[in-house]
Structures are given as C-alpha cells and as structure tokens.
C-alpha cells in the first residue's frame, strides 16, 4: 500500500459537473478547428466526412467505458500509471507515468499556449504569440496553486464559456451562413469512401482530436463518490464532445465551399469569414482563443497528479508528492510549468509531441487491453462498474489503436522508435528509485 504525503489525499470535493468539464475541456482543443481541410482533399462526401467524427466518438466512448471499469477497480489518481502498475508490473506503470509526468502533458500545454498566442494575434495583431502563450500558462498555473475550490470554479466557468461560444457559432452558421451544394445523406458512393485508405488515415487525425476522453481518471482521488462520478463524467463528456464535433464540421461544410477548405489549416477561421464576413476571422480567432484557456487549465490540473502519485510511491520522487495546505501538489504543478515554459521558449513542443505520440498511444492500448487481461486472470476482483458491451467495446478501441500505431511506425518510424526509447529511458530512473528505496530500508534501525 502506498503512503500518502503531507496529510494524505486531497479532500474529495470534485463534483460530477466539474469532472465532466475537465473531460470536455481537455478534449476540445484546436484539432476540430483545423483537421477538416486535410480530410476534404480525398473525401468529398458530406455523409462520409461526418461519419468520420461519429466513428471517432464511438471509439473514444469504447475507450472511456473500458477506463471506467479499471478506475472503479483501482480508484487512485494518475491514470495509466496507476492502471498499468496494477495490471502488469510497477515498472510498466512507471514508464507510462514517466512519459506523462515529463512531457505527456507539458508538451500539449505548450502547444495549446502557442495556439492561444497565434489566435490572440488575430484579435490583437501587435501582441507577440510567444508572450501571450507564456502569460496564459503562468496565470492558469498560478490559479491552480490556490486550491481545489478555486480551480473547480475556474474550470467550470471557462468550460461553460467554451461550450456556449461553440453552440452560438453552430447556430449562427446554420442561420446566417450561405448554404453550399452539399448533402449529408448517404449515397452509393459513400461505401467507396468508407473502405478507402484516406478514410482510415483521416480517422487517425480525428482520434487525435478526441484525445482527452480519459482526463477525469487522472484526478479520481479528488472526485466525490468516484465509483459513480467517474464513469458518468467520461460518458457525458465524450457524448457532449462527439455531438459538438459532428455539428461543427457540419457547419464548416454547410457554410463554406469545399474547395476553399481543401488543404487549409485554419478551417474555422475560413468558415467564420464565410458566415460573418471579413470580420469573421477575428470572431472565430477570439472564440478559439478563449476556449483554449479551459483546455490549458484541464491539463495543468491533471498532469501534476501523475507526478504527485509517483512521488507517493517512490522515495526518489517523494519531493513532488508534497501538497500545499489547500491540497494542491504545488511542486508538481511548478515542475510542469517549468517544462512547458522551456518548451515554449525553445519552440520544441511540436517535435516533442511527434516523439511521444506513439508511446502515448501504446499506453492507452495496454490500458484497455488490461480490461481483458483482468477479466481472464482475476475474474473475482470487485468491479463496481463493468464495461458495457464487453468484449466488443474494448476490442473496437484496441483495433483502432493498433491501426494508429501502425500508421505512426510507417509514416514516422524515427520519431516512433525514438519516442519509445525515451519512454524506456524511464527504466533507469525506476531502477535508481528502487535502489534508493532498498538502501533507505536497509539503513533504517530494526526493532526486535
């Protein structure tokens, strides 16, 4: 049994609403506002394009259902670190935690911060994106040092703002936009699109946009009634995001010529100009900019909990397990802030994300595979929540993750292998920690 540090676990004060807000905020970043332009280059059917996002939502839900079963069995913050060490071996859990604690959250925080700066520039052209990104990361991190009550309120408010703005944009698009000659009804040509390579390659990028569906598992130790709150938060969060993603892409296609979207990165801003005129780009830029605040906040919240939990288990990392009087792992928050700041200043976050993408996907794959492993090897373990649709739901998720890993190896072999090497380098730290723990135990006086 692990030992808690500095007063034990934080008070379980996070409600279902806040847990759901974390899932939604972590999922909805810039991916949904940028990826359609590359999909329409090879897929020209409105039905097939929307089906991509429906399938992505189904796969994300299959992952969420599987994670919920594991979280109900092992209700402790830190996500894959907690699950993999319990399913397989503490060393494998450490590798996943090492990846998450060092770059797995810091790099996406840096990317979201830079995206914030770029979109903020569309509103304030004279403001340097790097400065904007640094300011937002530092301000959000400082808020997270103030305590769970303030964090919950901040997260709920900014996630609500994000949702309202997206819904308003969707309504405005269908109301004010000029309809394009596109149909969302299925046709005979759709089967050709659905079984084609471009459809499955596009699905890889759709799944990147859905990443974050497991966010609440990283803070399960802070949830009220986690056995009930966690599954519902993952379910409701994934459903909300799936509906928003399908509706957003429908608006983009409904209001903007496909030729104008093809190959473009700033799909949302192009659609904004089609809906609101020349000023529309600024409107959408401001919308995305404000929405990114909740995304950054979610990652600043959940990332340090991995480092904190690892510190509770491993003496070498005990420094980061310390919690402030308000129950916040302040040192772990500051560590992630330092790494994210360094990545922003060196502009290396995109390279880091390329390197760790394969390892992160592998961690999720092994975690969901663990649902099947435990059903076979330990069928009598208490399962307050059992994955709906087992074994079909985890198998759907595992199949798509296998394809994503294959795609990454084929298209980014160097980055994938190097990323796996970075993950395996954590074994050195793990070995040092085990040696340090054994040395500390042998030096302790024995009581006979």
What is the tens place of the pLDDT at every residue in 148-192? 888 999 999 999 999 999 999 999 999 999 999 999 999 888 888
Distance CA 239, CA 447 (A): 56
pLDDT surpassing 90 at residue 143: yes
User: Does residue 7 have a cis peptide bond before it, meaning omega lies within 30 degrees of 0?
Assistant: no
**Domain range summary for the chain, segments of one domain joined by +:** 16-434
CB atoms within 10 A of CB 298: 32
Crossing angle of helices 148-176 and 129-144, in 10° steps, is 130
Distance CA 223, CA 322 (A): 19
What is the tens place of the pLDDT at every residue in 357-368? 899 999 999 999
Tokens of 273: 């100009």
Torsion sign across C-alpha atoms 435, 439, 440, 446: positive
What is the tens place of the pLDDT at every residue in 192-215? 888 888 898 889 889 999 999 999
Residues 6+ apart with CB under 8 A from 440: 315
CB atoms within 10 A of CB 7: 12
Position 2 confidence tier, pLDDT thresholds 50, 70, 90: very low
Position 442 confidence tier, pLDDT thresholds 50, 70, 90: low
pLDDT surpassing 80 at residue 6: no
Tokens of 346: 């060196």
CATH fold of 16-434: Amino acid/polyamine transporter I (1.20.1740)
Rg (C-alpha) for the chain, rounded Å, is: 22
pLDDT surpassing 80 at residue 261: yes
Position 101 confidence tier, pLDDT thresholds 50, 70, 90: confident
pLDDT mean across residues, the chain: 90
Task: Please answer whether residues 94 and 81 qualify as being in contact, where contact means their C-beta atoms are separated by less than 8 angstroms.
Answer: yes
**pTM, full prediction:** 0.91
CB atoms within 10 A of CB 206: 26
Q: What is the mean pLDDT of residues 345-363?
A: 87
**Residue 331: exposure state from Cβ atoms within 10 A (0-12, 13-18, ≥19):** middle
DSSP conformational letter for 384: S
- pLDDT at residue number 163: 95
Task: Please answer whether residues 282 and 119 qualify as being in contact, where contact means their C-beta atoms are separated by less than 8 angstroms.
Answer: no
Q: What is the mean pLDDT of residues 289-295?
A: 93
Least confident of 34-48, 103-117, 324-338, 345-359: 345-359
Distance CA 149, CA 299 (A): 17
- pLDDT at residue number 136: 96
What is the tens place of the pLDDT at every residue in 326-339? 889 999 999 999 99
Residues 6+ apart with CB under 8 A from 140: 293, 296, 297, 300
- pLDDT at residue number 446: 46
3 state SS of 223 = strand
């Amino acid at each position: 049994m692990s030992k808690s540090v500095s007063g034990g676990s934080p008070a379980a004060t996070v409600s279902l609403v806040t847990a759901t807000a974390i899932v939604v905020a972590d999922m909805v970043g810039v991916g949904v506002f940028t990826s359609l332009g590359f999909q329409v280059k090879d897929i020209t059917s409105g039905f097939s394009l929307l089906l991509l996002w429906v399938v992505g939502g189904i796969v994300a839900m299959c992952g969420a259902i599987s994670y919920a079963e594991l979280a109900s069995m092992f209700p402790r913050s830190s996500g894959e670190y907690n699950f993999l060490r319990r399913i397989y071996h503490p060393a494998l859990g450490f590798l996943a935690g090492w990846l998450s604690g060092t770059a797995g959250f810091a790099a996406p925080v840096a990317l979201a911060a830079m995206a914030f700066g770029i979109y903020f520039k569309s509103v304030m052209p004279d403001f340097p994106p790097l400065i904007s990104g640094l300011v937002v990361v530092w301000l959000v991190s400082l808020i997270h040092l103030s305590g769970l009550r303030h964090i919950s309120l901040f997260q709920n408010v900014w996630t609500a703002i994000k949702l309202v703005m997206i819904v308003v944009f969707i309504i405005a698009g269908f109301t004010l936009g000029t309809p394009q000659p596109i149909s969302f009804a299925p046709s005979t040509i759709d089967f050709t699109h659905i079984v084609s390579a471009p459809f499955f390659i596009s699905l890889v990028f759709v799944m990147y946009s859905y990443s974050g569906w497991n966010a609440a598992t990283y803070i399960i130790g802070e949830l009220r009634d986690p056995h009930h709150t966690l599954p519902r938060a993952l379910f409701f969060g994934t459903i909300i995001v799936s509906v928003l993603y399908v509706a957003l892409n429908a608006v983009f296609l409904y209001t903007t010529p496909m030729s104008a979207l093809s190959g473009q990165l700033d799909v949302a801003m192009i659609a904004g100009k089609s809906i609101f005129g020349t000023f529309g780009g600024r409107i959408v830029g401001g919308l995305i900019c404000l929405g990114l605040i909740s995304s950054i906040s979610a990652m600043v919240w959940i990332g340090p909990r991995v480092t904190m939990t690892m510190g509770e288990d491993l003496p070498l990392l005990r420094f980061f397990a310390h919690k402030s009087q308000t129950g916040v792992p302040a040192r772990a928050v500051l560590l992630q802030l330092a790494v994210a700041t360094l990545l922003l200043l060196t502009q290396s976050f995109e390279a880091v994300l390329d390197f760790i993408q394969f390892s992160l996907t592998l961690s999720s794959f092994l975690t969901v595979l663990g649902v099947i492993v435990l059903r076979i090897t330990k069928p009598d373990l208490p399962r307050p929540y059992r994955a709906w649709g087992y074994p079909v739901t985890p198998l759907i998720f595992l199949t798509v993750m296998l394809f994503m890993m294959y795609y990454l190896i084929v298209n980014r072999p160097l980055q994938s292998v190097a990323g796996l090497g970075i993950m395996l380098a954590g074994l050195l730290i793990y070995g040092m920690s085990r040696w340090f723990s054994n040395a500390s135990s042998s030096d302790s006086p024995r009581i006979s």
